[in-house]
Structure 1
Amino acid sequence: MKTSTITSQTGRSSGLHSPVSPPPAPAPTPARPDRPPTTVPTTATASSTTPASGTGSDSTAGQRGSTTEELPQLGALIRRHRTRIGLTQRELADLSTISVRAIRDLEQNRVRRPRSETVRLIADALRLGPRSRDALQQAARNGRFGPLAESGGTAVPPAPPTALHAVIGRDREIAVIAEELASGSERLLHIVGLAGSGKTRLALEVAGLLHREERLPVLWFAFPSQGGGSDYVTSAETALAEVLHRCVAGLLGDTGPSPADPCGEDGPTLAEYLGDQPAVLVVDGAPGSPTRPERLARLLRDCPGLRLLVTSEEPWQLPGERVFLLTPLETADGEAEHECAAARVFLDDVRRVSPGAVAGADDLAAATEICRRLDGLPTALLAASSWLVLYDLAALRRRLAEDPTPFLDHLAVQENAGRYLAALHSRVTRLPDDHRMLLAALCTSEREEFSLDDVEDLTGSPLGHCGRTMRDLLVSGVVRTVAGPAGTRFQVLHLVRAACRAFPTA
């Protein structure tokens, strides 16, 4: 995996090369009547090592092959060239077709990674020569990422929130997504899945991996409805918080900035902060598709290093979108059932709630059956384990077989009562009418598993239509595949069946 690095600066403008001071000239010899005063001329060596100042646009240290650390900050260069030719910020804005506010922000170093097109327009307006133009572009390329903290010259890329619990059973998913985002082979990766399947936790793990191993800045934006704070601690507020809010609102909201500027005109845009540098923007719990896809397309075009990682329950159906379906955790059958991913997650939490709950083989069997009843959905497993302060595993297993809906509420989080069941119901009601009708028929069937041929017989529809319908139900998360000796079969999730019973109109 190729590692991406970010060039950092100290945050202090180093200006031009420090001039080499010539040795102090000796005091002049006192004048004699027959001899004029003696002066010591400046040596040629001293004058050759002292850079000229104020002699034109091509006299900067950057134009003499200096290192990037010796270049002035971008804002200082722009201001120097502007004042040298006697332009005001308004006049430069008119000549470059860039707003006055953008010029002011650039000169004040509020935007450290402007777009290459912005730099080109300014260079054209200033009528810079080749060397001055190269110096301006070099300063722009080596500018710091806007909100990076300054610490002794070391810039630390923004980090994702800190997860409070280890992730279990998602190694393959993490590896695939991290590789695709790190390589840049996917620019818009969308994790979709049923509520409670662990999309946020997976995104956290991927983002943390990219931040640690690839040194990629991670910009995290979570919609308030997520309320994911129970599983992670958010990072401190950064200077990008307002810019991120404007940008995401502009991408997914009905109102906001004009299509010409996807992240708003009130201050620097996200594109201006990022420029060409690699970065990951995570949008967690997106409530719907972008209302103006052209804004998203422009953001990705203006930020060629940006990767967008989205989590939600439904795909956006946009060109270039890589849909990654996150299925529930494995609840495999076999002698070592308690070693499957769902059982490992459940038993790990059981030991926290009731350390002595698992005393023997019967308890392990009850635990694995509970995992099957809850479809291996992490949120449901976590809620059910909280009930072990009142039940033992055998009793909890019996009650879940009767009706799992009361046990979907975590005992320690009263404010979330009923939310998870409502989320399952909401997902079902958003399905197209014919999909809902098929789902209702499958729920009332005595069969727990069925094949595509069974669907064809049940609906009387052509095979192609049945195949597309089943694919949509799989992507929605209400149905899962079950591998077996008879080939690939399908199963409606137990909790979806329970939601349909609890809300018959679904």
Structure 2
Amino acid sequence: MTISAAPGTADVPPQFGVLMRRHRLRIGLTQRELADLSTISVRAIRDLEQGRATRPRTDTVRLISDGLRLGPKARADLESAAHQGRRSAALHERFVTEPPTPPLATHLLFGRDAEAQVLTDELASGAERLVCLVGLSGVGKTRLALEVAARLHREAGLPVLWHALPGAAGEYRSDPCGEEFADLVHALVNHLLATADTDPAPFLELVGDRPAVLMVDGAGDRLQTDRVTRLLHACPQLRVLVTSGRPSDVPGERVFLLNPLTTPDDADGSAATSTQDVARTPAVQLFLSQVRRSQPEFVLDAHTAHAVADICRRLDGLPLALRAAADWLVVYDVETLRECLASDPGALLDHLTDAREGARLRACLERGLRGLAPGRHDLLDAVCAGNGEFGLEDVMALTGRTLPECARLVRDLLLRGVVRPLHRPGRSRFQVLQLVRAVWRDGVPPAAASAAAGVPEELPLGATAPVFDGLPRSSAR
């Protein structure tokens, strides 16, 4: 099956057979006449022109060039087309017999089995063909994508073509098995993001109608809708997963929100939660795994459990923050680290830096807050002034908006990872992440205001309603 490049892309270099036929017709030869002149069989010439043969030998190319009486430039073009055909055929064979593998993760995965299984099932079955994995920077999107990629390759036998954009978290080691496909994938991603004038045709020809997975780490919201749509149409069994700070808004996109890891439930560090319960919490498991890299003798016991639990809660279960904080236990003891987070988490962010990630936590958090529309700024101001917890009724009282409008507003904050849902009986409640509150109080220079798609322009916030924990008291309570 021949797949043409999407409209508007660079011209595709002619395949050998197409170029050969063009030269033959230009000088008025039949296939029989060319066969006589070149001493190549009529059947071989027919197979080459119709694309049934794509890897002509070097001597075959020379004989055909002689029969067509080609000049130096035309001969070089025909030889180049033959080389491309041989390389393309070799890649196709490799793609089928030894499917490319995803990179290897450098960190263990904790508490994400349910999310990984859902995404694996959806992509393996083809029920979803475009998945956008969204969440706050540092929440572990890259690590989850690596797990899904590994399962798709291991369990479903799917080729996985991985591409990381500049600035994406380097949580993996490159696999040399995929290097030969890197140029094709890089050209395709540049085409999808419109960041360079590249030709996607070689990628489209490689994948064709075969099952495969394309994973783009750090795509942001820059995917070009029309180009993604054409890609999925040209490759009907291709699945695409991208990690991003927010949805791409491409039609048919399945948005998967990744929340921080679960932390111990007790809010005040009391003895209500046992050491065993603390140890089973995903955020604590990740924290301890990092601590034991530098302190193998560290033990979670009755003396350290509540401090560790409080640290994990104050770091919101964000994997990047947990790993960075755990590294500082070579300097601090666990109680001192807990006290630092309790007194001024914003100040501690400035030196909680994980050099392997190459990212400062404050910068990661600020990226999740920039670009919020003015109405969301006002809402964060209100909830961060209290304990950071709120419900839809609070947003309605604060903004004077209808329930559906407030739900869209909160959904936007959720998808940016700024707030997280609280899974409790009764009405829906949400919590601004504690680290987000610390950064917000310190001040985040807002980007140019732009309302999210589908959300009406924000109305001025009311200033007369009575305040309850930093929010107006709602009559709906």
**TM-score in same-fold range (> 0.5):** yes
Q: What SS does the aligned partner of 2:187 have?
A: helix
How many equivalent pairs are there? Answer: 389
CA RMSD of aligned residues (A): 3.4
Distance of aligned partners of 1:412 and 1:421 in 2 relative to their CA distance in 1, 3 Å threshold? closer
Question: Structure 1's 173 and 102: CA in aligned 2 closer, same or farther, altered over 3 A?
Answer: farther
Q: Equivalent residue of 1:301, what SS?
A: helix
1:91-106 equivalences under 5 Å are 104-105=81-82
Segments of structure 1 that go 5 or more residues without pairing to the other structure are: 1-52, 61-71, 91-99, 113-142, 149-153
1:167 equivalenced with 2:77 (yes/no): no
Are the structure 2 counterparts of residues 287 and 107 from structure 1 closer, same or farther at C-alpha, using a change threshold of 3 Å?
closer
- The DSSP-based 3-state class of the residue aligned with 2:55 is helix
Structure 1 SS opposite 2:152: helix
Contact kept in structure 2, 1:329 and 1:342, CA below 8 Å = yes
SS in 1 for 2:256: strand
Alignment gaps of 5+ in structure 2: 1-39, 71-76, 266-272, 447-477
Structure 1 residue 189 displacement after superposition: 0.8
Query: Which one of 317, 320, 325 corresponds to residue 249 of structure 2?
Result: 317
What is the SS of the residue equivalent to 1:145?
Answer: helix
Residue identity matched to 1:280: V
Cα deviation for residue 413 of structure 1 reads 2.0
1:500 to 2:432 alignment:
no
Which residue number corresponds to residue 341 of structure 1?
282
Matched, 1:435 2:338: no
- In 2: Cα distance, 1:179 partner to 1:354 partner: 38
Which runs of structure 2 are paired with 1:28-427 in the superposition (5 Å)? 54=41, 56=43, 74-76=54-56, 104-105=81-82, 108-112=85-89, 145=92, 148=95, 155-228=97-170, 231-236=171-176, 238-257=179-198, 263=200, 269-290=202-223, 292-333=224-265, 334-335=273-274, 336-358=277-299, 360-408=301-349, 409-410=351-352, 413=355, 416=358, 419-427=360-368
Shift of 1:320: 1.0
Aligned equivalents of 2:394 and 2:354: distance in 1? 43
CA contact (8 A) 1:188 1:321 kept: yes
Q: Note closer, same or farther for the CA distance 1:484–1:108 as it changes in structure 2 (3 Å cut).
A: closer
Q: Quote the residue 1:477 is aligned against.
A: 417
The Cα of 1:106 is off from its aligned counterpart by 7.8
Say if 2:400 is the partner of 1:453.
Answer: no
Q: Deviations over 1:404-428 (max 9, x none)?
A: 23444446629946x3202211221
The whole-number CA distance in structure 2 between the counterparts of 1:89 and 1:365 is 85
Which structure has the larger Rg over C-alpha atoms?
1
2:430 equivalent in structure 1 = 490
The aligned amino acid for 1:488 is S
User: How far apart are the structure 1 equivalents of 2:78 and 2:46?
Assistant: 28
User: 1: CA distance between counterparts of 2:356 and 2:131?
Assistant: 34
Summarize the Cα distance change of 1:424–1:323 in structure 2 as closer, same or farther, 3 Å threshold: same
Deviations 1:196-255 (A, max 9, x none): 010000011111111112221111100121141xx3111226232222222111111354
CA distance in 1, matches of 2:316, 2:105: 24
CA distance 1:416–1:54, shift in 2 (3 Å) = closer
1:278-303 C-alpha deviation (Å, 9 max, x unpaired): 1111100113322x322221111111
Report the CA distance between 1:403 and its aligned residue.
1.7
CA positional deviation for 1:341: 1.1
Asked if structure 2 preserves the Cα contact closer than 8 Å seen for 1:74 and 1:107, the reply is no
Residues 193 and 326 of structure 1 are in contact (CA less than 8 Å); yes or no, is this contact kept in structure 2? yes
For residue 158 of structure 1, give the secondary structure of its aligned residue in structure 2: coil
CA contact (8 A) 1:195 1:313 kept: yes
Query: Which residue of 2 is the match for residue 8 of structure 1?
Result: none
Report the 3-state secondary structure (helix = DSSP H, G, I; strand = E; otherwise coil) of the residue aligned with 2:304. helix
Q: Answer whether contact 1:342 1:371 (CA < 8 A) is retained.
A: yes
In 1: Cα distance, 2:69 partner to 2:243 partner: 42
Identity of aligned residues (%): 43
Scaled by the length of structure 1, what TM-score is found?
Answer: 0.69
Residue 499 to residue 248, structure 1, CA distance change in 2 (3 Å): same
Distance verdict in 2 for CA 1:492–1:415, change over 3 Å: closer
Contact 1:387–1:407 (CA under 8 A) maintained in structure 2: no
Alignment-derived partner of residue 464 in structure 1: 404
Q: Which whole-Å CA distance do the structure 1 matches of 2:225 and 2:93 have between them?
A: 26
SS of equivalent residue, structure 1 residue 361 = coil
Equivalent-residue separation in structure 2 for 1:415 and 1:344 (angstroms):
19
Aligned to 2:18: none
What is the DSSP-based 3-state SS (H/G/I as helix, E as strand, rest coil) of the residue aligned with 2:133?
A: strand
Distance 1:211 1:87, change over 3 A: farther
Does structure 2 conserve the Cα–Cα contact (< 8 Å) formed by 1:160 and 1:219? yes
Shift of 1:185: 1.3
Residue 35 of structure 2 aligns with which residue? none
Q: Residue 311 of structure 1 aligns to a residue in which SS?
A: strand
Distance 1:433 1:412, change over 3 A: closer
In 1, Cα distance between equivalents of 2:428 and 2:79: 58
**Using the alignment, how far apart are the partners of 1:272 and 1:174 within structure 2?**
30
Change (3 A) 1:87 1:340: farther
- DSSP 3-state at the match of 1:289: coil
Q: Which moved more, 1:211-220 or 1:474-483?
A: 211-220
How far apart are the structure 2 equivalents of 1:348 and 1:252?
A: 37
Q: Structure 1 residues 217, 297: closer, same or farther in 2, change over 3 A?
A: same
